[in-house]
A and B are shown apart, each in its own frame.
Chain A
């Protein structure tokens, strides 16, 4: 009996040791993955922890959004641009992500064409979905929960074109995917939960009936297609926005003493970090054995993973992207009412470098650096295991006043606003004007503290960026 009890005790002890060993591993991994090694344990211990895994579906909706949807009627005709707040934009994008993309990602393309054909495809009767970044397909698979092995086709998505007139069959729609290298054609069977094909083929007519203003191609040299409104009454509605240094990141004695800054940046790990700050209050530094966070007076946060990466390859881009957006989303409360859009992914030898921009109701909010040029407010280096470095100009955004109408008439910009403000924009040595950007945007300076931002024309050529206030319409 005693022997049996001892055996029972031994078994219990063994089970206890096994559990303890799991916890031990979890603690050991804590520095790397910000959590326990098994999620069921993490759920028990971290019920209220905001550093847990992110909801992939909500991330997909936040980050995987087109920059614009362009509706064109014919080869040489003007076009319509649908912004993110347009109901047709939402319908088309929901149909694409809910129906077409999952189908396309699992089927072989019907044709593969040279990239040079893309201009001809999009200048026909089509709906073109444009992204601000060339999305690697591995991230798209992650969004759509598809295993990469299931798919054979494009390597990334820069643009998608829906060409309803391509096939006369009412139950087949033609989709083209452009990855900046080749064009992939897909003939997709329209199922019951898809939007009817007529929706796409009659969209231009509907936009015309609604008197939506049209856009024309810029008649100058440009690195990409720049579309402009060029009718006298063309206006846009824009709010004035406040762009402030978040109160909880202001480098003052009160925030330092109350540990407000630590809580905002380090979240639930604040107790394990050492704090250093200089007497002038120009920067504060938090560090442990592996992580270094530095916050400057202009509310720029720098993060560095001190051991660096010892990997030879960057690994999966989807994992790196997931770490990057987790880093941002865990601190999103600092930003207020603003969206972040991915504007670039560079693949380096053993990490990925990602760039994000701010966007308010679909209008870009540019950060202007000390050199006077537009810079990405968020730059993150990450590999498949973790974020390695981050530089983030943090601002709190909110609406300052109700939207007002502003003129978007391009002729006025060219003949009145530019000559009166920056006539050098219209000077070209070789008699060919060249632009990289002409669009309405907000902006703030890297070293500015609090400001009220009104909409401006953001104009970029090869060497400079200019901002000219939009003219308010009565």
Chain B
């Protein structure tokens, strides 16, 4: 009987040890160790964000002095997609990112006076999340030198998602971009010097 109890206790002990994740060996697998459910829980719902912070996100008067990242953009050289632009938001140093807190970038464009999602051509989403360097390729809405694309970029740290506040942890970058036709809009050096 004593042997049986000892065996059962030993088995219980082994099972308890095996269930301690801290002892799990690392793998080379590209699948995150956090697991699928954890991932799902971490996924940001743009709908919820818009519901909670819509009055800040879409208010034309919303302005922010907070600079989390530098935003730059370049037009893609393509006549097939003349409105295609590449946007980059990047931190200046990871010193300002001591908590490994990813950057979230939300993109909108104003159409008929209302901000609508400006989606990445590859992911089909207007939200991009990366640790340090966020890039997104989008198609703007209006072509022609006389038209302006009003782009609003919202940037914040993922951990601040529940308490976003202007000038504290939310960066709003408004850009006005005119996209000239390639055929007529090619600028030559002669144009530049005669400006």
Contacts and interface: CB of A to CB of B under 8 A. Distances in A.
B130 interface: yes
A74 B182 contact: yes
Contacts of B45: none
Interface in A70-106: 72-80
B73 to A, nearest CB: 8
A124 B92 contact: no
User: Is the contact region of chain B dominated by helix, strand, or loop, or is it mixed?
Assistant: mixed
Interface residues of A, number: 44
B101 interface: no
A411 B137 CA distance: 12
A77 B74 contact: yes
Given A231-B137, A419-B132, A78 B188 contact: no
Interface stretch (A344-352, A426-434, A447-455): A426-434
A120 B132 contact: no
B4 interface: no
Contacts of B185: 74
B135 interface: yes
A198 to B, nearest CB: 15
Contacts of A307: none
Interface string A419-460: 100010011111111000000000000000000000000000
B36 interface: no
A181 interface: no
Contacts of A423: 94
B187 A414 contact: no
User: Is the contact region of chain A dominated by helix, strand, or loop, or is it mixed?
Assistant: mixed
A120 B192 contact: yes
Contacts of A426: 91, 93-94, 132
B96 interface: yes
A124 B186 contact: yes
Contacts of A75: 187, 192
A76 to B, nearest CB: 5
A230 B88 contact: yes
Interface string B73-106: 0111111100000101011111110000000000
Nearest to B93: A428
Nearest to A122: B189
B146 interface: no
A220 interface: yes
A431 B94 CA distance: 8
B133 interface: yes
A418 to B, nearest CB: 8
A163 B189 contact: yes
Interface string A118-140: 00110011100000000000000
B190 A166 contact: yes
A121 B189 contact: yes
A217 interface: yes
A77 B76 contact: yes
Interface string A267-304: 00000000000000000000000000000000000000
B74 A76 contact: yes
B93 A72 contact: no
B31 interface: no
Contact of B132 (A205, A414, A429, A430): A414
Nearest to A185: B189
B130 A411 contact: yes
A208 interface: yes
13 contacts: A73-B186, A74-B185, A74-B186, A77-B74, A77-B75, A78-B74, A121-B189, A126-B189, A220-B90, A230-B88, A411-B134, A427-B95, A431-B92
Interface of B: 70, 72, 74-80, 86, 88, 90-96, 122, 130-135, 137, 180, 182, 185-193
Interface of A: 72-80, 117, 120-121, 124-126, 163, 165-166, 176, 204-205, 208, 214, 216-217, 219-220, 230-232, 410-411, 414-415, 419, 423, 426-433
The 3 closest A-B pairs by CB, nearest first: A431-B92, A414-B133, A428-B93
